[in-house]
Structure 1
Amino acid sequence: MISPEKGTYEYKVGDHVLIIWNNEIYPGKILSLSDDGALVRCMKKGSKCWKWPTVKDEVLYAWSDVLRAIQPPKLLSRGSYFVKETDEKQ
């Protein structure tokens, strides 16, 4: 999200965030920022955990679709991750 000072952002490259797409929430990592939104590489949900897809899912999301910053996903084993903000009951 753009702050009142032009060219400064609430997020930074490398931040992990939650985005909304198709009424679903996905974790991802910010690759770049612009006035229009954030380029985010998103994870995909496996049967029990999150994974980084082999074909990179990188999309420029509007700021309205970037929900909030989160803690980095926790590696469980061999490419499987736990995302506290999506996996724990709120």
Structure 2
Amino acid sequence: MESDDSTSDDHFFDVGNEQPTEENNVPSQKVENSTGKYVVVQFEQSYFPGKITNVSRVGATVNVMERAGKQWKWPLKKDEIFYRNDEIVMGINAPMRRGKRALFDVPELKDILE
């Protein structure tokens, strides 16, 4: 019997056709759903980068970053939340560390958030 909480590395979130919607600048795309991949999630009309920590057929648990000015940082306490497939917007590259203060750039979000 298969469970929704399986952690297979061959899941995909099919979220559209890689074209921005009229409501935002976010291109919808097919997102690989596997533990350790970086994604952007939508929560209350805002976008957050994060790392998938667990997957299921209906979504994934994502440890999300928090905004720090124009950059991002990992919160002191993990912010792991389950997001449905339709809330996982796009796959991204690993955030790029800037300087010595544990701040990160997420280039894929620059056009969306500005």
Answer yes or no: same fold by TM over 0.5: yes
1:42 counterpart (64, 79, 104): 64
Shift of 1:19: 0.4
5+ long unaligned stretches in structure 1: 1-6
Task: Quote the Cα distance in structure 2 between the aligned partners of 1:48 and 1:25.
Answer: 13
CA RMSD in angstroms comes to 1.4
Task: Quote the Cα distance in structure 2 between the aligned partners of 1:47 and 1:73.
Answer: 15
Paired position in structure 1 for 2:54: 32
Task: Quote the Cα distance in structure 2 between the aligned partners of 1:36 and 1:79.
Answer: 32
Paired position in structure 2 for 1:82: 105
2:74 counterpart (45, 52, 57): 52
Counterpart residue identity of residue 61, structure 1: Y
Q: Percent identity?
A: 30
Shift of 1:36: 2.3
The structure 1 segments of at least 4 consecutive aligned residues displaced by more than 6 Å after TM superposition are none
Q: Deviations over 1:34-89 (max 9, x none)?
A: 122100000000112100000111001000100111011000022100001112x3
Paired position in structure 2 for 1:4: none
Paired position in structure 1 for 2:11: 9
Task: Quote the Cα distance in structure 2 between the aligned partners of 1:70 and 1:47.
Answer: 20
5+ long unaligned stretches in structure 2: 1-7, 13-32
